[in-house]
Amino acid sequence: MILAVSSHPVQYRAPLYRYFSLCAGMPVHAVYLRDHHLRETYDPDFGVAFRWEMDLLGGYTSSFVTSGSGADRVGWWRAFNGTQRLVRKVAEGLPSLRAILIHSYTTPEGFGGLFAARKLRIPALLMEEVELTRHRSVLKRISRSAVIPPLLRLYDSFLYIGSRNRRFYERYGVEPERLFFTPYSVDNEAFSRALPTNLAKRDATRCELHADPSDCVVLFAGKLIPRKRPLDLVDAAALLAPERRPFLLFVGSGELATALRARAAELRIQKFNAVGFKNVDEIGQYYAASDIFVLPSEYETWGLVVNEAMIHSLPVIASDSCGCSPDLVRDGETGFRFPAGDIQSLAKLLGVLGEKEALRRDLGNHGRSLIDAWSYAQVAQGLQTALAFIKVSKNQKNH
């Protein structure tokens, strides 16, 4: 049995818990701080209120520290204390509890889960999105170097999601033998099951978008916020001659939605559509209707939309500031990387891929092959290896 501690049910994490419980022989009980998006909840980045249209609780058991509208405003101490109390209460009733899996080492619920693990003498595992590429002041770097290493020593092992995540742990003194690869994954099977239906609607979807059959459709999916730099895609397309410009499709909402439409109008980008926020049961049809996926973020801990795009055999153009870039976006194999903010480089890549259908197909097929192996099965294998390591280490200490 695994007890997982997280802030709220997440569309990417709940299917993983379900996979652990139903397919990998490792039942999960999740302790959530709040019930965000099980009910309609306002997201300040998306700028809309919504609930995820998927089963976020099925296939595993769960408990909540707080629920209802009051859960949106939980103070630090209440979150910490409530989480550690609930984790301890739940843990005492779970048979054969092997470890407590924590998804954040800086949040109050993360501290609460770790505190409970230490009090109960149950192994604590950390699976976190952190990496080192984000720019920080000298003072912050010094303070992090003082605080993070002793904090990480409180964990028994670490599940790293990619190469940059591993480098973070190594930078702060985690020994290699305590690091276990659990690739950051989405529910590949769910997207694959929906793919034939979405591909059958490809022409109809493109028609609804007002994209011509001959257009190369370039997709951006995500929050329309400054750090994701959606405006760069419009600016890059504008650098191409009108006859070479792709059709730009934006799926998502956020504070830059109005500015995005205004920029497209200002630069006379006529092949353009922004369809707003789409839920998880709708997004697949837009991947299936597209030809290229672009993620130009100036900072991205990972970018799971890249995983989703590759499941749909889309070549990917991503900035080098996306956490997934070194692992998934392999130049000339699955797509291309460019320096974040370099609009000239992005325009050049759009032009090349837009004109070479055979290259797009080859890159997309290689990406699909790669992401097929970047799966929940590998995550489960990494977790099982970590648990075996902890068991051996514990036995050695006892002797």
Q: Is the pTM of this model over 0.85?
A: yes
Comparing 55-64, 137-146, 278-287, the range with the smallest average pLDDT is 137-146
pLDDT at residue 399 is higher than 60: no
Q: What is the CATH number of domain 188-373?
A: 3.40.50.2000
What percent of the chain has a predicted confidence (pLDDT) above 90? 86
Gap between the Cα atoms of 385 and 399, Å rounded: 21
Token output for 337: 């990387």
Averaged confidence pLDDT in the chain: 94
Sketch the domain layout of the chain as residue ranges: 2-186+375-398, 188-373
How many other C-beta atoms can be found within 10 angstroms of the C-beta atom of residue 156?
Answer: 20
pLDDT at residue 98 is higher than 90: yes
pLDDT at residue 46 is higher than 90: no
Comparing 63-72, 85-94, 176-185, the range with the smallest average pLDDT is 63-72
pLDDT (average), residues 284-308:
97
pLDDT (average), residues 240-256:
96
Q: Taking the CA atoms of the chain, what radius of gyration do you get in angstroms?
A: 22
pLDDT at residue 124 is higher than 90: yes
Question: Which has the closest alpha carbon to 30: 57, 68, 67?
Answer: 57
The answer as to CATH 3.40.50.2000 being correct for domain 2-186+375-398 is yes
Tell me the pLDDT band of 135, cut-offs 50, 70 and 90. confident
Gap between the Cα atoms of 138 and 130, Å rounded: 18
Contact present, 185 and 378 (Cβ < 8 Å): yes
Q: What is the pLDDT of residues 184-229, one digit of tens each?
A: 999 999 999 999 999 999 999 999 999 999 999 999 999 999 999 9
pLDDT at residue 291 is higher than 80: yes
Predicted local distance difference test score (pLDDT) of residue 357? 96
Predicted local distance difference test score (pLDDT) of residue 50? 80
- Looking from the CA of 399 toward its CB, the CA atoms found within 13 Å total 6
Place of tokens 């978008």: 209
Q: Which residues of 4-36 are buried (b: 16+ CB within 10 A; e: fewer)?
A: bbbbbbbbebbbbbbbbbeebebbbbbbbbbbb
DSSP 280: T
pLDDT (average), residues 102-116:
96
Is it true that 2-186+375-398 and 188-373 share their CATH fold?
A: yes
